[in-house]
Structure 1
């Protein structure tokens, strides 16, 4: 489950530049999802900026060969405020179905701290013996899976952008994405053409998981990759390409439309 939620988190990749505006502005970003080069899904997101407020609403659906095996559909949203160049979430929500099962998460934040989480199905009580519970102290400084992938580096180079750790919390689990610089790559899509900054990513499970999970063991031993591109002239960078190793083969997410009005 944690592996699926990580993939879902990496799908909701914002593509908008915060800043004060006289009227609300909406931007659209679309992604294709492929497994070992075969199309298996698509995702679409609309970001609305209204002065100091922002909101992102997205949809995710399986497609192609994936529908023959397991049909997946989901929605996700986040709302919050822009403060000092940062996106600070107030509320994050995720709901999706897969293999005829459903999951839902509703997390509220205040000043970078997660203050409440309502999830379904609820955590098992009592938990499994090897379950690592989420502790209150681990939620003092966290980011949501949507706006957490928006980064405004001090300088537009790999060292500045990728030298950081993102402390994700989705209502179920706490995990860190440890980024490190890996150069640049040429990337072209509708809305962007140029050099993308490449970050290698290692997943570190913190809490809200079972130590016996084969998925966690596999992801923790592999290197993911995220390519970031500048969102127009904002100074903000957002993902345009993601590569996630799986036991079947690489799962990739590629922007087909990037921050288009």
Structure 2
């Protein structure tokens, strides 16, 4: 993959991952804004801002990402993403998830409607080709139950033992692909951002493709052989945890997403 296309792919992935914004306490009506820095090999390639709102048991997350620095020179990328629904059993359960992004003048979009973790309708643009490659593995109807959207799918109720944050498998669907993230404990580490200081639960994450992918994809084989790392923080007096830092290995270097500030709106 040429560098411009690779940078565009990394930034579109960052739009999904950086949207895992910290969630305020479910019992109150409140709003939190989180700003992320996105870097590749230590160089700035993007920035994102996400706002999470909670009113009783209803939530909404909306945000945007734009390329910067080196990525802007090669492949200007921008996008928006949103998720809305209810808070049930200590996690976010989406009714609707939307993603729109543009890179090099080309546009992609996903609009998913869900009910109790089951996908009812998914619309993507551009649509899948009719002449899909022979090694393409489609998403089946059975794989669209008990799933979460990528934007709010990594927000959990904080367990008493921080290590238990990582003892789980998360089933994602973004409109194109179904994949599982298998989390395992990797210790604890301190973390500091403007507006927040404390300890984080660190999880190692392995990617397992389920549907909507090519078996022969070299990019997929690479990410399956790597370990993503996510830092989860318990925020203030809330009983929920969410990612504040993500490290993703890539063929051209390490992609980092780091919360720079966390503030009440």
Say yes or no: does 1:129 pair with 2:134.
Answer: yes
- RMSD between superposed Cα atoms in Å: 1.6
- Matched with 1:144 is 149
- The alpha-carbon deviation at position 64 of structure 1 amounts to 1.1
Find the residue that maps to 2:253 and give its secondary structure: coil
8 A Cα contact 1:155 1:161, kept in partner? no
Range with greater deviation from structure 2 (103-112 or 191-200): 191-200
Measure, in 2, the Cα distance between the counterparts of 1:7 and 1:106.
Answer: 18
1:3-29 deviation per Cα after TM superposition (whole angstroms, max 9, x unaligned)? 6454432121121134233xx421100
Range with greater deviation from structure 2 (11-20 or 160-169): 11-20
Say yes or no: does 1:48 pair with 2:48.
Answer: no
Measure, in 2, the Cα distance between the counterparts of 1:18 and 1:107.
Answer: 26
8 A Cα contact 1:95 1:102, kept in partner? yes
Q: Give aligned pairs, total.
A: 258
Measure, in 2, the Cα distance between the counterparts of 1:132 and 1:206.
Answer: 8
Ranges in structure 1 where 5+ consecutive residues have no aligned partner:
none
Ranges in structure 2 where 5+ consecutive residues have no aligned partner:
1-5
- The alpha-carbon deviation at position 128 of structure 1 amounts to 1.4
- Matched with 1:107 is 112
- The alpha-carbon deviation at position 259 of structure 1 amounts to 4.6
8 A Cα contact 1:18 1:85, kept in partner? no
- The alpha-carbon deviation at position 86 of structure 1 amounts to 2.0
Measure, in 1, the Cα distance between the counterparts of 2:109 and 2:69.
Answer: 25
8 A Cα contact 1:3 1:215, kept in partner? no
8 A Cα contact 1:181 1:200, kept in partner? yes
Match of residue 15, structure 1, among 14, 22, 25: 22
Say yes or no: does 1:251 pair with 2:255.
Answer: yes
Find the residue that maps to 2:221 and give its secondary structure: helix
Report the TM-score, using the length of structure 2 for normalisation. Answer: 0.93
- Matched with 1:97 is 102
Once the two structures are superposed, the pairs formed by residues 1-261 of structure 1 within 5 Å of their partners are: 4=10, 6-21=13-28, 24-158=29-163, 160-261=164-265
